[in-house]
Structure 1
Amino acid sequence: MNLTQRRVPQVFELGRSSSIRSFKSIDSSSITHGIHVFQCPDAVGIVAKLSDCIASRGGNILGADVFVPENKNVFYSRSEFIFDPVKWPRLQMDEDFLRISKMFDATRSVVRVPKLDPKFKIAVLASKQEHCLIDLLHSWQDGRLPVDITRVISNHDRFPNTHVVRFLERNSIPYHYLGTSKENNREDEILDLVQNTDFLVLARYMQLLSGKFLQRYRKDIINIHHGLLPSFKGGHPSKQAFDAGVKLIGATSHFVTEELDAGPIIEQMVIIVSALCSHLNSG
């Protein structure tokens, strides 16, 4: 497949049913899920090499998303696959994907096997509104968010007997209140608290992180924006959408950059306004 000749965004979905059927002969307890994220200069044959890497070790792809931005010489992919760790040991997997990474001069190649690998350590930054924070905490508690939450940092103080503080205390997650002002954004203190984390999550954290902070942290920071980017950036995105007559609402998770709400988009959720209104009226 010559991706360099097709500059429109591309997404390829590989069927789940055929992948699972081919593993019927394997003990289901031995089947393990893996995820591979890849970024490199665009070239011919990347998809074929990635697919062959997994298939040659007896693995099978459940889903693969490939994206080639228009007029940019860059290739992105995210592959989800199943495999037998006896036939494809974890260290061998790293070596196989590293070989492809060198072949295509990749700038990013991350392999994760949630069942086998240590969990990512994250810190969550929040402000007064709690719905994003509460959703993250409940997803973590239910096992749907396989990370270790090292601490929650907020620029809004919470009383000891509140729902969030009680939850954090029950689960031994430290809570830090760092009130901010125009004169002191407390970024040095935040950096001291998050040194042992793999990435940060901003759950409606209503403060802008400076370019200096991003350079010093040097790891991924994910923001949850209550609007559909790249439209309606900044504050009050729902009002912006309403005033523009937009019929869709939703939320966007994206990587944080120095430019407000302009980082690469990770995931989006969309709800049609008319359908939502009908649902609410019927209730």
Structure 2
Amino acid sequence: MMATRKLCLSFNRALGVANRSLKSLNSPGESLDSRTYASLTHGIHVFHCPDEVGIVAKLSECIASNGGNILGADVFVPENKNVFYSRSEFIFDPLKWPRAQMDEDFLKLLKRFNAMRSVVRVPLLDPKYKIAVLASKQDHCLVDLLHGWQEGRLPVDITRVISNHERVPNTHVIRFLERHGIPYHYLPTTKENKREDDILELVRDTDFLVLARYMQILSGKFLRGYGKDIINIHHGLLPSFKGGNPSKQAFDSGVKLIGATSHFVTERLDAGPIIEQMVERVSHRDNLHSFVHKSENLEKQCLIKAVKSYCELRVLPYEQNKTVVF
């Protein structure tokens, strides 16, 4: 409890320094107005390091000393783990704190605290994440991702869609991709050949991958060859209802609660660190059609929220198979 009180006290003091620093952007006695806010840029910083006294103060001082202002901060210090996690959102003047200098300043903190992770992102200045989407026959998650990208709800650039299922030219998906200049790669697979080398060649320049109901298991060799994060989605009917048509199995069994899980892909099938989960009740009033519709809606919402959280630096690895999601 003493350590927690010290952390909160240090954090409050640090926030006070950061808030006071915002006045340095204006003339003495001048209040912050809309024109000042319009000239500021939004930044995000996440930090993961061994726990010790003074981390919050130094992080806040780094932002405040460069004229920035913290808008919100989350800290997680798990009990008896000697590890520290934080995520801060702040505004700053890029003319007073250039982007390259920001990287250098946070790098000093990484070295100072021997951090495992220190990532800073300025959405308006940094390139969008480049992703590729892998899908099979079902379209619902793929279509939702494409529409989310089109509407600006996802800060990504979709570089290509890869599928082991052929889509004829006049389908909704193909028309959308052609209209927006996104390549579609049909790679038919067999049990003997999953086309992983071909996929790897297509996705080398991406920042991460999204499996939008891609019904092929990626091998450990592929995961090691890609070396970056892969986000997957599946229904929450596992492990009770495996194999073909799990929704009908669950419906016939009279389940009352359905769900969806989005997680990172690891060599353990559907057992990677969980990013997001959603649930919804079903009842005797549902028929098979409404049951499947509710299940697919959950999958869409769960996947797009997981991708958005990942892009906003809300997801950090915790222990061997968990995540901290701020």
Quick one: which amino acid aligns to residue 189 of structure 1? D
- How many Å separate the matches in 2 of 1:110 and 1:56? 19
Give the direction of change, closer, same or farther, for the CA distance of 1:81–1:145 in structure 2 (3 Å limit). Answer: same
Structure 2: distance between partners of 1:234 and 1:76: 36
Cα distance between partner residues in 2 of 1:98 and 1:81: 17
| Structure 1 CA distance for aligned equivalents of residues 65 and 170 of structure 2 | 56
Residue of 110, 132, 141 corresponding to 2:141: 132
CA contact under 8 A between 1:2 and 1:45: conserved in structure 2? no
* Residue 105 in structure 1 maps to residue 114 in structure 2: yes
Q: Greater CA radius of gyration, 1 or 2?
A: 2
8 Å Cα contact 1:227-1:233 kept in structure 2: no
In 2, distance between residues paired with 1:273 and 1:216? 40
Q: In the alignment, is residue 172 of structure 1 matched against residue 185 of structure 2? A: no
Please tell me whether residue 162 in structure 1 is matched to residue 171 in structure 2: yes
The residue number in structure 2 matching 1:9 is: none
CA deviation after TM superposition for structure 1 residue 207, in Å: 1.3
1:34 to 38, 43, 51: 43
Q: Is the 8 A contact 2:260 2:279 kept in 1?
A: no
- Over 3 Å counting, the alpha-carbon distance change for 1:77 and 1:194 in structure 2 is same
Partner of 2:308: none
Mapped to 2, the partners of 1:263 and 1:210 lie a distance apart of: 14
1:216 partnered with 2:220: no
The residue aligned with 2:32 is 24
Q: Distance in 2 between matches of 1:52 and 1:232?
A: 51
Q: CA deviation at 1:266?
A: 2.9
Matches within 5 A, 1:9-158: 24-25=32-33, 27-68=36-77, 72-158=81-167
- Look up the match of 1:194: 203
Distance 2:137 2:83 in 1: 39
Q: Quick check: 1:233–1:261 contact (8 Å CA) kept in 2?
A: no
Alignment of 1:233-248 (within 5 A): 236=246, 247=257
SS at match of 2:103: helix
Which whole-Å deviations, capped at 9, do the CAs of 1:226-278 have from their partners, x for residues lacking one?
3399x87976489669969664x44333222111233233334x344269x89
Matched residues, number: 263
Tell me the CA shift for residue 131 of structure 1.
1.1
Q: Distance in 2 between matches of 1:167 and 1:134?
A: 9
Deviation at 1:133, TM superposition (A): 0.8
For residue 161 of structure 2, give the secondary structure of its aligned residue in structure 1: strand
Note if contact 2:42-2:92 (Cα within 8 Å) is conserved in structure 1. yes
Q: Which amino acid aligns with 1:96?
A: D
Contact 2:43 2:92 in 1 (8 A): yes
Farther off after superposition, 21-30 or 156-165: 21-30
1:196 and 1:80, CA in 2 relative to 1: closer, same or farther beyond 3 A?
same
Unaligned 5+ residue runs, structure 1?
A: 7-13
- In structure 1, the partner of 2:3 is 2
| Partners of 1:36 and 1:110 within 8 A in 2 | yes
Distance in 2, Cα, partners of 1:118 & 1:156? 31
Question: Secondary structure of 1:65's partner?
Answer: strand
SS in 1 for 2:89: strand
Structure 1 equivalent of residue 275 of structure 2: 266
Q: Could you tell me which amino acid in structure 1 is paired with residue 179 of structure 2?
A: R
Query: Counterparts of 1:242 and 1:263 in 2: how far apart (Å)?
Result: 29
- Equivalent residue for 2:212? 203
Distance 1:189 1:87 in 2: 46
**Pair 1:184-2:193 in alignment:** yes
